[in-house]
Amino acid sequence: MPEINVPSSIKDLEQVQSVRTPIKMEYTFTPGVAAQTYLREFANKRILGTISPVDGAVLVPPRGSDPRYGALCEEFVEMPHTGHIGSFCVTNVPIPGRDLELPYISAWIFLDGADVGFLNLVAECPPEECRIGMRVEAVWKPDDEIGMTAENILYWRPTGEPDLPFEEAGVRGWHVRRGEGSDA
Amino acid sequence: MRKVAIVSAASRQEEKMLDNEVEMMVPLISEVREETGLDQTEIGFTCSGSSDFLAGQAFSFVMTLDAVGPVPPISESHVEMDGAWALYETWVKFQMGVIDTALVYSYGKPSPGSLQDVLSTQLDPYYVAPLWPDAHSITALQARHLLEKGEISTEELADCAVRAGTVENKEQYFDQPTLADPLRQADCPTYADGGVAMILAAEGKAEELCEKPAWITGIDHRIDSHHFGVRDLSTIPSAKKAAEKAGLYKAEIDLAEIHTAYTVHDVLLRKELNLPLNPAKSSKNHPIKAETLMASGLLRIAEAARAIWNEEANRTLAHATSGPLMQQNLMCVLSGEKE
């Protein structure tokens, strides 16, 4: 470190180690046409997906485009409230900002007819009984608490129906349904 | 130098867009790919420019790749700068000889946030940014300096406002109250959401994709100090240097598309570059009327190319600026001839 010369009057002061300059900016998020349509219908307890104009893949939740091809998705389709677990994770350690009771299960839920999964919680199921391919259904918040938010579905619970074979569950199902190796 | 041309461009600007960034960019990117007949797998390199501070989201440009379609995986890069710099990076990639075609795009959607606040965050974080000076006021400081020094006059600002179309005539200009003294509303930009996409191609390929490619005969960018205090705000050395290096003065130009969001910057830059004030040689859509942070510069390049495609001009200048008070400047000279 080169020697720094300061006036003698401040020579004995403690050196500044860091400076805080807080910055706050506010945004009014623009969800876009797809997310807006999805959230409006989600508030009516309806789950919408979009259909890829390229190969007909059903994408849930809609993001406006088929991200694989950069193609605008303008056709919506209503999805059932049932699906299966494509993959899952059991969380055993507390995470700041999440006051869920431990352990809890996060899962990649594939709605029936959807070609992609989306993230949600699974409950009413002990972690050791959770498995890939397990059939689940949505448990919604009480009607008067539902709004235009991703939080409308409290969690997914097992239906007790027979599992999907492992080979057909989750993204593996994509290859099964297309009958060939897909890039997706 | 390898010869590179702009062969297709598409753009959109609106004061407030309800589409998100992906929905805004898909039609533009699709349009340039369709016009050239290239699909994404035939494009050697994709480069974009945008700002997380506008989106209010970290790595927001990754989301926007949903508008490109990176499957199968693509070669891609991004700059947190105006898209004109994404074009520069792409041009360098062409010079390396590793690509023959490229997609360049940029976009800005300031409407969800406060652009004045966003612009403050680009300033020196210790001494200036915590004071949150707004962009209009900083430009007004520069304008005052130039006026007092006698480098520019209010008459020139009024003329520029008329030329840009922010007022119909000079009387209207002088009737306006000052917004950030000495600047009036007519001196300051109207912000817009928008984006631009373009396809570039190297000699040999460009002629196949476009009837009259707009050849990049020179491109250069330079930067002035980040600190206002050490800059002489009555001159723009980086712009002058970049113009000289880009070969602006090698021959006459028919059109100058300059990225000046304030009248005072327009007047100053034209003086610095010795550009003609003839309205016929100015852009029809002045950035003062629709300034889209991160896209306006690339949009100027697209407009300069369009003039060549439409045979309205044969040699054009496109300028892009970034940073406070035209701190960074890029000059791109385009020509209908390979030169």
What's the half-sphere exposure (Cβ side, CA atoms, 13 Å) at A152? 19
What residues contact residue B271 under an 8 Å CB cut-off, 6+ apart? Answer: B151, B152
Chain-chain contact of B18 with A69 (C-beta, under 8 angstroms) = no
Domains of chain B by start residue, with CATH: 4-114+190-209 (3.40.47.10), 115-187 (no CATH), 214-335 (3.40.47.10)
Q: Are the beta carbons of A23 and B129 separated by less than 8 Å?
A: yes
Average pLDDT over residues B55-71: 92
How many residues does the structure list for chain B?
339
How far apart, in whole angstroms, are the C-alpha atoms of residue B89 and residue B76? Answer: 11
Please give the average per-residue pLDDT across B119-148, as a whole number: 93
pLDDT band at A181 (very low <50, low <70, confident <90, very high): very low
Which residues from B are below 8 Å from A69, CB to CB? 40, 69, 71
The pLDDT tens digits of the residues spanning A84-124 come to: 999 999 999 988 887 888 999 999 999 999 999 999 999 99
- The structure tokens listed for A48 are 């919408």
Share of chain B above pLDDT 90, in %: 87
**Conformational region of residue B150, where left means phi above 0, alpha means psi within -120 to 50, and beta covers everything else:** left
Most confident residue range from A89-103, A124-138, B116-130: A124-138
Smallest CA–CA distance from B24 into chain A, residue: A32
Which helix (H) or strand (E) segment holds residue B154: the answer is: helix B154-164
Residue B282 has pLDDT above 60, yes or no: no
Q: What is the pLDDT of residues A53-82, one digit of tens each?
A: 998 999 999 989 999 999 999 999 999 999
Cβ-nearest to A30 among B53, B69, B111: B111
Asked if the Cβ–Cβ distance from A63 to B22 is below 8 Å, we say yes
* Rounded alpha-carbon distances, angstroms, from residue B149 to B95, B182, B269, B270, B295: 43, 14, 16, 17, 33
3 state SS of B108:
strand
Q: Summarize pLDDT for B208-226 with one digit per residue, the tens.
A: 999 999 999 999 999 999 8
CA B91 to chain CA centroid, nearest Å: 16
Q: For residue B319, is pLDDT > 80?
A: yes
List the structure tokens of B326.
């035209």
Instruction: Kindly report, residue by residue over B173-184, the tens digit of the pLDDT.
Output: 999 999 999 999
Q: Which residues of B have a CB under 8 Å from any CB of A?
A: 17-23, 26-27, 29-30, 40, 53, 56, 65-72, 109, 111-114, 117-118, 121, 125-126, 129-130
Q: Do the Cβ atoms of A26 and B18 come within 8 Å?
A: no
φ, ψ dihedrals at B212, nearest 5°: -135, 80
- Which chain A residue has the Cα nearest residue B72? A183
Mean pLDDT, chain B, rounded, equals 94
- Shortest Cα–Cα distance, B86 to chain A (Å): 20
Structure tokens that stand for B170 in this block:
């000079």
What is the pLDDT at residue A107? Answer: 97
Average pLDDT over residues A154-171: 93
| A16 interface with B at CB cutoff 8 Å | no
Q: Name the residue among B29, B69, B121 with its Cβ closest to that of A68.
A: B69
Interface touch B126/A21, C-beta < 8 Å = yes
Residue among A20, A23, A59 with most chain B CBs within 10 A, to mutate:
A23
B114 pLDDT higher than 70:
yes
Contact flag A65-B26 (C-beta cutoff 8 Å): yes
State whether A71 and B30 contact (CB < 8 Å): yes
Q: Detail the DSSP E strand segments found in chain A.
A: 47-51, 58-59, 65-66, 71-72, 75-79, 82-91, 104-111, 118-122, 135-140, 153-158
Q: Give residue A182's pLDDT band: very low, low, confident or very high (50, 70, 90).
A: very low
pLDDT at position A136 is 98
The whole-number pLDDT of residue B283 equals 59
User: Which of A167-171, B46-50, B249-253 has the highest average model confidence (pLDDT)?
Assistant: B46-50
A35 touches chain B (CB under 8 A): yes
Sheet (strand B101-108) strand order = B76-79, B45-49, B101-108, B193-202, B4-14, B214-223, B328-335, B315-322, B255-257
pLDDT recorded at residue A100: 86
ipTM confidence:
0.83
Scanning every residue of chain A, which has its alpha carbon at the shortest distance from the alpha carbon of B127?
A: A21
Sign of CA dihedral B55, B60, B66, B69: positive
How far apart are the C-alpha atoms of B26 and A26, rounded to whole Å?
Answer: 27
Instruction: Select from B15, B17, B18, B19 the residue whose CB has the most chain A CBs within 10 Å, as the one to mutate to test that interface.
Output: B19
The CA-based angle B197-B202-B208, given to 5 degrees, is: 85
CA distance to partner chain B, nearest, from residue A174 (Å): 15
Distances (CA, A) of B288 to B9, B51, B165, B223: 21, 20, 9, 22
Q: What is the average pLDDT across B59-81?
A: 94
Interface contact B26-A67, CB threshold 8 A = no
Structure confidence at residue A184 (pLDDT): 41
What residue type is assigned to position B198 of the chain?
M
Mean pLDDT of chain A: 90
Q: How far is C-alpha B97 from the chain's CA centre? A: 26
**Residue B329 backbone class (left: φ over 0; alpha: ψ -120 to 50; beta: rest):** beta
